[in-house]
């Protein structure tokens, strides 16, 4: 039923004028599935695809309350990278980046991966030491990293502020050339299309309203479109993890916070890399349409509103001008907010839960988009085997009671509140 | 968002710092039940709707207080001094 996308297919459709078929089937919910995945975001769709393609489990439903692509998979700043410090994170995100590198071919869908390179700037000798350590850790794990001095950065990014008045002088940076951006909508559509072709039912406008349980075993879900029995059920709804988990009687180490992103009016190609400011949580890249895309910090208090406060708009604009003074007259065109799970240690969860046959993926704190392929890969493994994938053994819900918080920035718990 | 500080009156939210869930009750000092402490420190109801939370007026009187706020709309409600009747 589906056309394989290729130059030949494009030519054939152009010549004959034949309409392209729908990319994925609009499925009606059946009464029972082997696996039900709650949440049709990037992670949920990726999980369904890997369950079908790698574990041979095709009797799978993805339940989405809204429509595919309406949540955080379309609300991020599209960056992918693997420059992490802690054992566990380093390997997980590198695995994710390797999956990104093969994803367009894997899915027969162009996700427009652009490995334009990411530079993290250092603004003091001490910060350069930290970046050197980070780069060394990456290289010891077989990941590309290059330490840049001030001259290197100036040759690569000549438009930054190198003047003597600069509040945060640029001492250098660390470059990961394989990092870059991905077209985020294409990730949702590509996974949906590939999963659907393997027999997965993608069911939109279907909200989960409760869980069916027999003792401590989850046997299905109640939804706005009727009850569905499930052999195994996975929650992958980051932003609203607490609400869905509460339906199963679980409380999570998660608070929901708002993260904004911003796009300027479009300009000619100018910023050819992803640049992370070292003096504040701020980064910038340029989209294919020409808009400069800014990402910044969370708004600072728990919220589900999906719209931001003005203070972060101002902070992001100040960072942008501090970094690149020449864009001071550029106007912001749009800004939007996504709701994300924040966890005590800034690390996510991919794990079993205290209830049998119920699995949880969430708590992604800023980093959910770049994790999409690996999160789907590892959650599919966890669901199929009823055991955590080796890459995510350290990401269990019980890590705080065991004293094993996984704190990437080594600043202590709750740093997102400070 | 504008917040009504019980000491200073209505101010813009950026003068304040969010300081966490005020619904939870700290276990009694000396309580040796680690599960109770774990749940107090790490778990949240994280409601979408009415919430009760601590804020500090860091760029004002620096007092802590309890704010009622709807997390689905950000509409702030009443504020209480921490030990005031009705703060819990």
Structure tokens at B10: 């209505």
Mutate to test the interface with B, among A242, A252, A300, A304 (most CBs of B within 10 A): A304
At residue A55, φ and ψ (nearest 5 deg) are -120, 5
* Whether residue A337 sits in one domain with residue A260: yes
Q: Specify if A84 maps to a domain.
A: no
Q: How confident is the model at residue A214 (pLDDT cuts 50, 70, 90)?
A: very high
pLDDT at A217 over 70: yes
pLDDT at A172 over 50: yes
The residue ranges of every structural domain in chain B are: 2-80
In terms of DSSP H, where are the helices of A263-404?
A: 310-323, 372-385
* Whether residue A243 sits in one domain with residue A119: no
Say yes or no for a CB contact (<8 Å) between A417 and B51. Answer: no
Reported ipTM exceeds the 0.90 cut: yes
Closest CA to B54 of B82, B12, B26: B82
- Can you give the pLDDT at residue B5? 94
Report the predicted TM-score, pTM, of the whole model to 2 decimal places: 0.95
When the candidates are 3.90.79.10, 3.40.50.970, 3.30.2270.10, 3.90.1150.10, the CATH number that belongs to B2-80 is: 3.30.2270.10
- Can you give the pLDDT at residue A411? 57
| Distance separating alpha carbons of residues A160 and A154, to the nearest angstrom | 8
Residues in chain B whose Cβ is within 8 Å of chain A: 1, 13-14, 17-21, 34-35, 38-39, 41-48, 51, 53, 71-74
Mean pLDDT of chain B: 91
* Whether residue A260 sits in one domain with residue A176: yes
| Distance separating alpha carbons of residues A283 and A275, to the nearest angstrom | 5
- Can you give the pLDDT at residue A380? 98
* Whether residue A268 sits in one domain with residue A165: yes
Say yes or no for a CB contact (<8 Å) between A311 and B14. Answer: yes
Mutate to test the interface with B, among A245, A297, A302 (most CBs of B within 10 A): A302
A122-145 pLDDT tens trace: 999 999 999 999 999 999 999 999
Q: Specify if A13 maps to a domain.
A: no
A18-52 pLDDT tens trace: 888 899 998 999 999 999 999 999 999 999 999 99
**∠ CA(A160), CA(A300), CA(A133), 5° rounding?**
50
Mean pLDDT of chain A: 94
> At which residue do the structure tokens 């769709």 appear?
A45
Q: How confident is the model at residue A1 (pLDDT cuts 50, 70, 90)?
A: very low
* Whether residue A237 sits in one domain with residue A189: yes
Say yes or no for a CB contact (<8 Å) between A400 and B41. Answer: yes
Q: How many CB atoms lie within 10 A of CB A119?
A: 26
Mean of pLDDT values over A271-294: 95
Mean of pLDDT values over A312-325: 94
- Smallest CA–CA separation between A303 and chain B, in Å? 5
pLDDT at B20 over 60: yes
Mutate to test the interface with A, among B11, B21, B42, B56 (most CBs of A within 10 A): B42
| Distance separating alpha carbons of residues A397 and A347, to the nearest angstrom | 11
- Last-in-domain residue among A313, A341, A369: A341
Say yes or no for a CB contact (<8 Å) between B44 and A417. Answer: no
Say yes or no for a CB contact (<8 Å) between A400 and B42. Answer: yes
Domain that holds residue A217: 26-78+184-254+345-417
| Distance separating alpha carbons of residues A370 and A184, to the nearest angstrom | 10
* Whether residue A331 sits in one domain with residue A267: yes
Non-local CB neighbours of A258 within 8 Å, separated by 6+ positions? A298, A299, A303, A304, A305, A306, A307, A308, A337, A338, A339, A340
- Can you give the pLDDT at residue A414? 62
Structure tokens at B85: 């009747």
Could you tell me how many helices (H) and strands (E) chain A has, helices first? 9, 18
- Asked if residue A88 lies in contact with residue A406, where contact means CB atoms within 8 angstroms, the answer is yes
Q: Which residues of chain A does B43 touch, with a Cβ-Cβ cutoff of 8 Å?
A: 251-253
A67-117 pLDDT tens trace: 999 999 999 999 999 999 889 999 999 999 999 999 999 999 999 999 999
Q: How many domains does chain A have?
A: 2
At residue A333, φ and ψ (nearest 5 deg) are -95, -45
* Whether residue A337 sits in one domain with residue A193: no
- Can you give the pLDDT at residue A3? 77
For residues A269-308, one letter each, b for 16 or more C-beta atoms within 10 angstroms of the residue's C-beta and e for the rest, the string is eebebbbbbbbbbbbbbbbeeebbbbbbbbbbbbbbbbeb
| Distance separating alpha carbons of residues A187 and A107, to the nearest angstrom | 9
- Asked if residue A194 lies in contact with residue A107, where contact means CB atoms within 8 angstroms, the answer is yes
* Whether residue A353 sits in one domain with residue A336: no
A323-333 pLDDT tens trace: 999 999 999 99
- Asked if residue A376 lies in contact with residue A45, where contact means CB atoms within 8 angstroms, the answer is yes
Q: Specify if A11 maps to a domain.
A: no
pLDDT at A15 over 90: yes
Q: Specify if A212 maps to a domain.
A: yes
| Distance separating alpha carbons of residues A118 and A146, to the nearest angstrom | 11
**CA separation, residue A375 to residues A35, A42, A139, A248, A362 (Å):** 17, 9, 23, 22, 9
Q: Decide if A243 touches B, using CB distance below 8 A.
A: yes
Mean of pLDDT values over B57-68: 95
- Last-in-domain residue among A291, A306, A341: A341
* Whether residue A272 sits in one domain with residue A160: yes
* Whether residue A197 sits in one domain with residue A322: no
Q: Decide if A311 touches B, using CB distance below 8 A.
A: yes
Beta bridge partners of A121: A173
**CA separation, residue A159 to residues A154, A270, A326, A327, B63 (Å):** 8, 9, 8, 10, 44
Q: How confident is the model at residue A316 (pLDDT cuts 50, 70, 90)?
A: very high
* Whether residue A194 sits in one domain with residue A129: no
| Distance separating alpha carbons of residues B86 and A224, to the nearest angstrom | 37
Q: Specify if A408 maps to a domain.
A: yes
pLDDT at B31 over 90: no
CATH code where residue A173 lies:
3.30.9.10
Q: How confident is the model at residue A416 (pLDDT cuts 50, 70, 90)?
A: low
Q: How many CB atoms lie within 10 A of CB A76?
A: 23
| Distance separating alpha carbons of residues A89 and A394, to the nearest angstrom | 10
* Whether residue A303 sits in one domain with residue A176: yes
Beta bridge partners of A223: A208, A226
Q: Which residues of chain A does B46 touch, with a Cβ-Cβ cutoff of 8 Å?
A: 242-243, 252, 254-256, 302
- Can you give the pLDDT at residue B88? 63
């Amino acid at each position: 039923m589906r056309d394989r996308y290729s130059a030949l297919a494009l030519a054939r459709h152009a010549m004959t004028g034949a309409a392209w078929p729908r990319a994925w089937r609009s499925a009606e919910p059946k009464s029972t599935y082997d696996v039900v995945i709650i949440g049709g975001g990037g992670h949920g769709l990726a999980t369904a695809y890997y369950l079908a393609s790698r574990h041979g489990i095709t009797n799978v439903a993805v339940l989405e309350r809204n429509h595919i692509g309406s949540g955080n998979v379309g609300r991020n700043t599209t960056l992918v990278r693997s420059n992490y410090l802690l054992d566990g994170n380093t390997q997980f995100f590198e695995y994710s980046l390797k999956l990104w590198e093969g994803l367009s071919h894997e899915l027969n869908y162009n996700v427009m991966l652009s490995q334009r390179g990411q530079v993290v700037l250092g603004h003091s000798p001490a910060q350069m030491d930290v970046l050197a350590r980070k780069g060394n850790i990456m290289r010891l794990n077989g990941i590309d990293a290059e330490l840049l001095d001030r001259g290197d950065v100036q040759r690569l990014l000549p438009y930054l502020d190198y003047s003597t008045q600069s509040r945060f002088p640029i001492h250098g940076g660390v470059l990961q050339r394989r990092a870059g951006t991905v077209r985020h909508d294409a990730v949702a559509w590509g996974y949906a299309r590939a999963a659907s072709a393997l027999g997965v039912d993608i069911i939109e406008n279907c909200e989960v309203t409760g869980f069916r349980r027999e003792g401590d075993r989850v046997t299905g879900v109640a939804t706005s479109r009727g009850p569905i029995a499930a052999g195994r059920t996975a929650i992958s709804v980051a932003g609203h993890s607490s609400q869905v988990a509460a339906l199963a009687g679980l409380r999570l180490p998660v608070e929901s916070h708002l993260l904004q992103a911003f796009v300027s009016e479009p300009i000619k190609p100018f910023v050819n890399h992803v640049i992370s400011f070292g003096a504040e949580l701020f980064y910038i890249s340029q989209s294919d349409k020409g808009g400069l895309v800014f990402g910044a910090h969370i708004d600072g208090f728990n919220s589900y509103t999906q719209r931001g406060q003005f203070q972060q708009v101002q902070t992001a604009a100040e960072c942008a001008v501090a970094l690149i003074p020449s864009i001071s007259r550029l106007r912001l065109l749009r800004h939007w907010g996504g709701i994300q799970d924040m966890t005590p240690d800034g690390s996510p969860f991919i794990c079993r839960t205290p209830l049998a046959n119920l699995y949880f993926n969430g708590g992604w704190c800023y980093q959910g988009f770049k994790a999409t392929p690996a999160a789907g890969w590892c959650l599919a493994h966890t669901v199929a085997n009823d055991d955590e994938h080796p890459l995510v053994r350290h990401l269990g819900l019980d890590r705080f009671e065991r004293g094993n918080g996984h704190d990437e920035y080594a600043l202590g718990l709750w740093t997102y509140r400070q | 968002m504008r917040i009504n500080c019980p000491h200073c009156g209505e101010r813009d939210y950026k003068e304040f710092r969010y300081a966490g869930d005020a619904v939870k009750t700290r276990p009694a000092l000396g309580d040796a039940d680690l599960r109770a402490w774990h749940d107090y420190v790490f778990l949240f109801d994280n409601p979408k709707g009415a919430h009760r939370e601590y804020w500090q007026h860091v760029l004002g009187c620096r007092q802590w207080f309890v704010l009622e706020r709807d997390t689905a709309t950000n509409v702030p409600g009443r504020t209480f001094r921490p030990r005031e009747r009705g703060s819990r």
